[in-house]
Structure 1
Amino acid sequence: PVAAEPSTSDNSIDESRQDQVEEVAQPDQAQDDKPTTTVSADDEITASEQVNEPTTDAASLVEPFKKLGLKPAEKITLSAIALLFIGMTVWGIIWLKQKNNDAVAKDELELPVEGQFATITEFESFWQSPGDSPGIKLGAVVVPAANITLGEGSSSGALRVYFRNSKKDSIGDPITIAFKDGTFSNDSKSIEVSATDGFHLKGDFHAYQMDSSMAWEVEVLEAENSMVAGSGFKSIIKTTLSPAMR
């Protein structure tokens, strides 16, 4: 007997079923082929810290408080107080400098001032550091000074300068300057005189600058010559000392 050959249609059906089975299996195989990534708890913490890491400036402010075991709200509060303190300090420095630049004497001095022997055409008072000037009292950090200029009509004589504090007490030694034919001993019509004492603390000087009731004054007297007794000198200028610092 001759065996019957399988029909072509039956083979096609079997091949179609096999293709469908392979197509269904392929997605599962693709999923199995995908690489898996495992994230540990330590990696999650590290990533979170990188995202929330503060800027350099903020970190520098918060860092000192980490060792104290403070809560985040307390750290923020203390950092804000520190920034406020720094801001007030900067503002105070700027304010003092501005006040120093705008400082003027309370009493306007009308120039020229004509005396019997001297005619003063320019007069300016200020404060300065004593530096290495001789005769300055030990410990003085800021001393008053004045610039005096003689004008036409000045003959020969002497000027005596006093610097007085808010209590009208003379500070330092009186300064006597001789002049001849309208010229000082430095061969100039102008000269700078400086007190031999002043403020010994910068803080006291700044307080003086801010309080007009603590104003100092400068007085200039003249006489025929430097050998005349104290009572022989006559006042020609008496004005408020400028709080400006040079």
Structure 2
Amino acid sequence: MRLTNKVAVLTGACGGIGLAIVKKLVSEGAKVLAADMSAEGLSAIEQEYGDSVATLSVNVTDYDQVAGMIDHACEHFGRVDIVINNAGIGNAKMLLDHDPVADFEGVTAVNQKGVYYGILAAGKKFKQQGTAGVILNTSSVYATMAAEMTFTYNVSKAAVDMMTKAAALELAPLNVRVCAVAPGRVDTPMLRQYEALGLWDHIRKEQMRATFTQPEEIANVVAFLVSDEANCINGCTVDASDGFNSFKYPLLNA
């Protein structure tokens, strides 16, 4: 098992990708602190994984809570080796229909500030421990391309990509790696909002093999990236989108 004796902290643990990551990390031998704001979801995780997983209710838009989360993992498991900043939200709305508070500030607080807080708190903890570590951020294919109805989401994920690069450079002397994963069309509850808009079949075809990625497939990539096998991957975002960004939707299939 690739992650035996490793301790991982994961935000957004109760979402589609988050749950898959918890399962994968445990299967690879890690101890996991699963953080989320869903009491029901966290309770279900506790019941399923027992002593392999501890849970904590955390609002990632509050730095003190994020730092406290990492401290809690150390108190519970003795140390921290991996921090995965996975919490994220998004809504589908055209730019000129935005309410600045509801449609920009809220998404930015979770997707951008939440990752920043996670990087900062993790970096400080690794320095305090005097140990190597890995920070993994969940980005998106939308970090590098524009799309209708996702203005704030795109901007926030672009920030995640740059925070990943900048943090990797500054934390390299501490032997801390920072990287990101960019999922494409993953079949999760958050993506299901497009089903109500009548776009479900369309967005499925935006990936090269015209099928949705499953959360478990993203979890497999995450487990590799935080393992020692990925030691040479640093300061970059790894595309996990089945070619989403590599081709234009074929006109012959429109």
Structure richer in helix, relative to its length: 2
Normalised TM-score (structure 2): 0.22
Structure with the higher fraction of residues in strand conformation: 1
User: Could you say which structure has the larger radius of gyration?
Assistant: 1
